[in-house]
């Protein structure tokens, strides 16, 4: 990105002055190196988002920002329904509520040493992964609607986990306002056999070691200690979420003119929050969030079964579950006034600060856990939300490293077997049904996750608590 287009406010905050149809400025949080590496399309998309009706304060980009559909991935924007604000399917993304949940195990690396291969094989056997993967659960129409309305609570009620899991999940496991009736039959059909599956792309289940602690007090609050073995699950709403996004983007594009909305980009199709179409999308999108929450809950149950078969002493207790790719109705302070806003986070993580009532009481003093996923062979991070971040970015932080090259370019550069062998030489076991998928998700295809996390930390969006290193990766 051309730095001359930006005004540097601090080492990690860059502004784009409003021009043309922009209603608010653009703000990027990143180091100079990360900004320079961003595609110019990120700049253009941040500016385009700033033109949407009812946008409040600024159009934001997180340190991992890269080009996406309509919004940049790593894009954040809040809208005021009372001021004609809109909801954008492109501002949520296709994989609705793609997110990460991390679990304690009570194990150490020494506990894994003799059974590491067996554990990797058992996890791969028990947890369906890959393009078009299906699970053992088959939902009829009634159960599909119950899942879309109930989320992780639906899963727990059917024996896939415990009530303690819900206490450590955003929205306590169920997104209010979900409307299964707003979800098409085609979307439901795509999900009918996919509950409890990882899917493909950058989704994974990873066994990890706590490699370093940065903030001892927050780590104690989160129950983390050095060399503990954790399990992280990264996946979303699978085919259902993608179908919801596809269908509503088309409808929003057709209806934009009737709502008096001029779009700088077709991919930014949106609808007024107070319109019938806007409300219908919110109902469907919230059902998609519940689908993802249920999916991660069922995978948690499957992971517990696999560990019990190989390492019975393991006790997988949920640390937290966070979502990316959402639009959530939240109260934020703008110019000293509390406002109810609809915050779009696309490839960004909610990061409520210390004391926020939505954070579980046991974690509240430290702030919300912010779970940053790595890319197969690279580190993952646990951060904590900050008071500063609440003020700067509507309580939002990065969600991962962000791609540095396309999947096609990565496939040309790496071979799946090569990546697996290189990681095995480092002690990282990978299991995947797709050699091509491994190549497309090679660690080198992503930005430096440590640089991204450092930028988020330095910008005050969230503070570093712990770094995790991969041990086993079940890759979609």
CATH of the domain at 259: 3.90.1860.10
pLDDT, one tens digit per residue, over 269-307 is 999 999 999 999 999 999 999 999 999 999 999 999 999
Rounded to an integer, the average pLDDT of 23-30 is 98
Token digits for 48?
């385009």
pLDDT, one tens digit per residue, over 220-278 is 999 999 999 999 999 999 999 999 999 999 999 999 999 999 999 999 999 999 999 99
How many residues comprise the chain?
476
Rounded to an integer, the average pLDDT of 297-326 is 97
Instruction: Please check the confidence at residue 201 and state whether its pLDDT lies above 90.
Output: no
pLDDT, one tens digit per residue, over 149-187 is 999 999 999 999 999 999 999 999 999 999 999 999 999
In this predicted structure, what is the pLDDT of residue 389?
95
Identify which has the larger pLDDT, 441 or 341: 341
In this predicted structure, what is the pLDDT of residue 447?
85
Token digits for 258?
């009737």
pTM, whole model, 2 decimals? 0.96
Residues 6+ apart with CB under 8 A from 110: none
The count of domains in the chain is: 1
In this predicted structure, what is the pLDDT of residue 388?
95
Instruction: Please check the confidence at residue 404 and state whether its pLDDT lies above 90.
Output: no
Mean of pLDDT over the chain:
96
Instruction: Please check the confidence at residue 133 and state whether its pLDDT lies above 90.
Output: no
Q: Which residues have a catalytic role annotated?
A: 399
As a whole number of Å, the end-to-end CA separation of the chain is 32
> Which residues constitute the domain of residue 445?
3-86+94-475
In this predicted structure, what is the pLDDT of residue 183?
98
Residues 6+ apart with CB under 8 A from 64: 73, 74, 347, 398, 399, 400, 401, 402, 447, 452
Range in 47-56, 139-148, 378-387, 432-441 with the lowest mean pLDDT: 432-441
In this predicted structure, what is the pLDDT of residue 304?
98
Could you tell me the pLDDT band of residue 387, with boundaries at 50, 70 and 90?
very high
pLDDT, one tens digit per residue, over 50-105 is 999 999 999 999 999 999 999 999 999 999 999 999 999 999 999 999 999 999 99
In this predicted structure, what is the pLDDT of residue 126?
96
Rounded to an integer, the average pLDDT of 35-41 is 95
Instruction: Please check the confidence at residue 202 and state whether its pLDDT lies above 90.
Output: no
């Amino acid at each position: 990105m051309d730095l001359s287009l930006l005004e540097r406010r601090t080492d990690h905050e860059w502004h784009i002055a409003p021009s043309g149809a922009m209603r608010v400025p653009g703000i990027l949080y990143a180091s100079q190196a990360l900004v320079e590496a961003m595609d110019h399309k990120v700049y253009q998309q941040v500016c385009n988002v700033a033109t949407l009706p009812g946008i409040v304060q600024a159009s934001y980009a997180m340190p991992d920002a890269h080009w996406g559909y309509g919004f940049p991935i790593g894009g954040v924007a809040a809208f005021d329904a009372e001021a004609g604000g809109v909801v954008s399917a492109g501002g949520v993304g296709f994989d609705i509520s793609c997110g990460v949940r991390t679990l304690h195990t009570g194990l150490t690396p020494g506990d894994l040493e003799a059974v590491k291969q067996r554990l990797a094989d058992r996890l791969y056997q028990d947890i369906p992964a890959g393009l078009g993967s299906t699970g053992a659960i088959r939902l009829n129409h009634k159960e599909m609607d119950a899942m879309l309305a109930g989320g992780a609570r639906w899963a727990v009620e059917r024996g896939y986990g415990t009530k303690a899991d819900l206490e450590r999940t955003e929205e306590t496991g169920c997104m209010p306002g979900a409307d299964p009736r707003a979800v098409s039959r085609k979307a439901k059909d795509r999900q009918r056999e996919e509950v409890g599956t990882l899917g493909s792309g950058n989704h994974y289940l990873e066994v990890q070691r706590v490699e370093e602690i940065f903030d001892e007090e927050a780590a104690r609050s989160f129950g983390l200690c050095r060399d503990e073995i954790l399990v992280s699950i990264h996946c979303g709403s699978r085919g259902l979420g993608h179908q919801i996004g596809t269908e509503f983007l088309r409808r929003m594009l057709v209806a934009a003119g009737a709502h008096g909305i001029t779009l700088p980009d077709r991919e930014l199709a949106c609808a007024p929050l107070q319109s019938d179409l806007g409300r219908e999308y919110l109902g469907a999108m919230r059902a998609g969030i519940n689908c993802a929450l249920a999916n991660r809950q069922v995978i948690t149950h499957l992971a517990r079964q696999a560990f019990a078969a190989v390492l019975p002493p393991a006790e997988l207790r949920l640390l937290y579950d966070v979502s990316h790719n959402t639009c959530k109705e939240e109260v934020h302070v703008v110019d000293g006034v509390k406002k109810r806003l609809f915050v779009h986070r696309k490839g960004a993580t909610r990061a409520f600060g210390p004391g926020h009532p939505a954070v579980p009481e046991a974690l509240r003093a430290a702030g919300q856990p912010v779970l940053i996923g790595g890319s197969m062979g690279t580190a993952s991070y646990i951060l904590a939300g900050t008071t500063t971040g609440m003020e700067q970015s509507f309580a939002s932080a990065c969600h991962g490293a962000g791609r540095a090259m396309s999947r096609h370019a990565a496939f040309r550069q790496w071979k799946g077997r090569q990546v697996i062998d290189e990681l095995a030489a480092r002690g990282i076991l990978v299991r995947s049904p797709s050699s091509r998928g491994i190549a497309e998700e090679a660690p080198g295809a992503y930005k430096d996750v440590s640089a991204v996390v450092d930028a988020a930390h330095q910008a005050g969006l969230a503070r570093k608590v712990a770094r995790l290193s991969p041990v086993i990766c079940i890759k979609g």
